[in-house]
Amino acid sequence: MADWQKITGGITAPRGYQAAGITAGLKPSGLPDLALIFSDVEAIAAGVFTTSQVKAACVEYCRQRLQAKHSARAILCNAGQANAATGNQGWIDALESGMAIAQALSIPSESVLLASTGVIGQRIKMDALRSGIPKLVAALSPTGSDAAAAAIITTDLVPKSIALETTIGDRPVRIGGIAKGSGMIHPNMATMLAFVTCDAAVSPGLWQQMLARAADRSFNSITVDGDTSTNDSLIALANGQSRTPAITEWGAESDKLEAMLTAVCQHLAKAIARDGEGATCLIEVEVTGAHDELSARQIAKTIAGSSLVKSAIFGRDPNWGRIAAAAGRAGVPFEQENLQIKLGNFLMLENGQPVPFDRAAASAYLKQAATGAYLQEDTVLISVSVGNGYGTGKAWGCDLSYDYVRINAEYTT
């Protein structure tokens, strides 16, 4: 069993955090579009960002801030405009956004991190942002997580939030998180934003390493459509307000904290994959028997990202050949005669040879997942073994429906 429990409160469940989300007029829809996360004290900060060569101004802003200083107190996020591919003026807008929220909070601008999401090529509506900041700061609350989670989403169907608690040094330690993402999702981050708060005290180097590994095992292991975005950002704060001894070296306490951080990130990542544009179910691919974890994850991500596999799942077609083909092109060597494939409890391929299975029952399994409870019974499990190695890895995706094309064909019109 996991050495932690789920609690309520999301991003503000850890001690010493407040959050807010308001409607500032950035989105044409009139829905909430400006969010703020604030730590009562300076917090150790870490980040993982898009690998795209085309980066939003907020990404470069955060990278520069975190290179100069491994701490922060505030994260400001706008939704509606990505402020990517907006040239020097977009950079000026990012700087002004950081300074405006810093002045409103009476903190140094160096303690502010930024995130943006929305349409690429559109600058932030600065007049709306300027006028919204006083209202945003006034709305800060220790119970403001849900409002913040609602204010960062774009095409998402539901907000995404989680909080977990464990015990370190006989004191409770909490990690909370919120995220957004629905389309343009692919490993090496995705069109996603995720914000994590923690009330443990952790050295900057350890916190960054923990976050990078957690990202590889979560957000870098999901795919919806094969597209990586310009704005992908995962930012994590640790403010030490649990009053536990500082974690400054690897050991049992750091392992426990990293495991809980990974669990938070994996929950949010699966929620993003399940909320893929037009999706009807979550796909979880587990690969075993590979040479190492990296190889196993590479095969799993290739299967989860295959348009043919995703289409077959949407069509409720237990076509294991598409799974085998995806595994074979993942760029990871394995012996074909060692390949085993299962869909749920249905064994379809053993020792590289097809085996008889109840095709109608397997199709019914896929249909049942499409009607299952959200992130509970709505998951299609694909299990693949490629040998006798110790490497195991997971990836998550979703099926590919007609609605995905409709949503993205009409995105700006």
Phi, psi of 383 (to 5 degrees): -115, 125
Query: Nearest CA to 234 among 269, 193, 174?
Result: 193
Give the C-alpha distances (Å, rounded to integers) separating 381 from 309, 325, 394: 12, 17, 11
Q: How far apart are CA 345 and CA 352, in angstroms?
A: 18
Query: Nearest CA to 132 among 273, 235, 24?
Result: 24
Q: Interior CA angle at 75 toward 282 and 265, to 5°?
A: 25
For residue 191, indicate whether it is catalytic: yes
Q: How far apart are CA 133 and CA 74, in angstroms?
A: 13
Give the active site residue among 154, 191, 244, 288: 191
Query: Nearest CA to 109 among 97, 117, 118?
Result: 97
Residue 86's Cβ-side half-sphere holds a number of Cα atoms within 13 Å equal to 26
Active site residues: 191
